[in-house]
């Protein structure tokens, strides 16, 4: 009988017990990324992002929007259709060098089997099996401002932005949580160099969980020796993500953009390139080739980890694994179509995720003379 509720045991362990606590992997659906361009570049876009999707990545990047408005839509069947991930965003200048945007994302896993009531009076009753969904939502309101700096031989720009966010998470009828936090970002561009920094969850993001279990469900947890989850407040600690990018031209119509980002966390040891109790550093690398700013080919490296290879149980050793990402894009007048594929896991057990996104630019109409 204990095996029948194993899933729920691990699911509710994440909710913890009563009180406030900081989770190392909290609100992870907000760390997946948005936009096929970003996925194709291994999520290394903090310094170069300059469109409507910047409200999520680095709100300072929205200040570069010159269109009357931009809209963005993304859909992905994540982990080979295990989860569904969607994102929609819009942004528009509200005055010279000031931009306002909103964005919304949803990550959901449907048809999760609920086996809590499978055994009744010592007998297995398959008619009591039910299904539920685990769904996460986030809503951002973003503001960005651009500051132009001029020197004798070249122009440079400085921008900053902020993205307050509201979070709602729901696990069937068993639990739900409301959360609030904010991200702050900055960008600086000088000639072909681009620098950026994202202070994610700078305020510390709070999720307050409310657990709702029936008396029967509580009895099952009690009888099987599992802890009954209680109301709790979950904290997501701040993360610093600096980035640097360089863009150069090859010939008249070919450009190449290369970028590196570093995810720096302070919530305990993680399995990343630089790991310690005080801080961790997880690098991302991306490159984008463009032909005439119309056709794009992208590649990226992310999720660099040192894991234990147990293929040979007699001689298990640690090996480095890297997640490669690839993507393509095409720009047609006011429409940009992007596609990316990510391979999660080792080559033998990789789960591919296909990401599609569309960006629409609404241009300003010329004044009638």
How many domains would you assign to the chain? 1
C-alpha closest to that of 21 among 279, 221, 174, 208:
208
For residue 16, give the H/E element and its range: none
Check which CATH number belongs to the domain holding 304 and give it: 2.40.160.40
Asked if the structure places residue 105 within a domain, the reply is: yes
DSSP result, 88-123: EEEEEEEETTEEEEEEEEEEEEEEEEE-TTSEETTE
Tell me the per-residue pLDDT of 162-215, one tens digit each, with 9 for 90 and over: 999 999 999 888 889 999 999 999 999 988 999 999 999 999 999 999 888 777
d(CA 80, CA 106): 17
Contact 142, 101 (CB under 8 A): yes
3-state secondary structure of 13: helix
pLDDT in tens, 298-311: 999 998 887 777 66
Please report whether residue 57 resides in a domain. yes
Instruction: For residues 60 and 188, give the distance between their C-alpha atoms in angstroms, rounded to a whole number.
Output: 9
Residue 339 lies in a domain: yes
Tokens of 57: 């990545």
Which pLDDT band holds residue 56 (cuts at 50, 70, 90)?
Answer: very high
pLDDT > 80? residue 349: no
CA distance 292 to 143: 30
Tell me if 369 is assigned to some domain.
no
Task: Quote the domain boundaries for residue 16.
Answer: 2-362
Q: Is residue 367 part of a domain?
A: no
pLDDT band at 322 (very low <50, low <70, confident <90, very high): confident
Q: Is the dihedral of CA 289, 355, 178, 213 positive or negative?
A: negative
Q: Is the residue at 368 inside a domain?
A: no
308 in a domain, yes or no?
yes
Percent of the chain residues topping a pLDDT of 90: 54
């Amino acid at each position: 009988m204990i095996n029948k509720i194993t899933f729920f045991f691990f699911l509710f362990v994440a909710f913890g017990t009563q009180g406030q606590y900081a989770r190392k992997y909290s609100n992870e659906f907000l760390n997946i990324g948005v936009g096929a361009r970003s996925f194709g570049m291994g999520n290394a876009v903090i310094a170069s992002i300059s469109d409507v999707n910047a409200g999520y990545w680095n709100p300072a990047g929205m200040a570069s929007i010159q269109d009357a408005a931009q809209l963005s839509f993304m859909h992905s069947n994540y982990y080979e259709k295990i989860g569904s991930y969607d994102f929609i965003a819009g942004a528009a200048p509200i005055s010279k060098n000031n931009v306002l945007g909103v964005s919304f994302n949803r990550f959901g896993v449907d048809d999760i089997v609920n086996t809590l009531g499978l055994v009744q009076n010592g007998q297995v009753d398959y008619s009591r099996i039910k299904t539920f969904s685990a769904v996460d939502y986030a809503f951002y309101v973003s503001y960005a401002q651009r500051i132009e700096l001029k020197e004798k031989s070249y122009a440079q720009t400085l921008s900053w932005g902020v993205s307050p966010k509201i979070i709602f998470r729901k696990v069937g009828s068993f639990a739900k949580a409301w959360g609030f936090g904010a991200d702050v970002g900055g960008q600086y561009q000088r000639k072909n160099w681009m620098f950026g920094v994202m202070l994610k969850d700078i305020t510390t993001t709070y999720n307050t969980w409310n657990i709702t279990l029936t008396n029967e469900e509580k009895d099952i947890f009690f009888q099987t020796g599992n802890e009954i989850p209680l109301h709790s407040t979950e904290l997501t600690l701040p993360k610093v993500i600096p980035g640097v990018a360089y863009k150069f031209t090859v010939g008249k119509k070919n450009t190449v953009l290369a970028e590196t980002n570093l995810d720096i966390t302070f919530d305990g040891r993680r399995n990343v390139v630089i790991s310690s109790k005080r801080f961790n550093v997880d690098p991302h690398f991306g490159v984008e080739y463009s032909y005439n700013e119309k056709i794009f080919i992208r590649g990226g490296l992310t999720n660099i980890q040192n894991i234990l290879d147990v293929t040979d149980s007699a001689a298990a050793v640690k090996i480095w694994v890297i997640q490669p990402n690839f993507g393509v894009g095409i720009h047609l007048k006011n429409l940009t179509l992007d596609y990316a594929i990510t391979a999660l896991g080792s080559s033998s057990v990789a789960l591919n995720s296909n990401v599609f996104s569309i960006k629409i630019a609404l241009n300003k109409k010329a004044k009638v003379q």
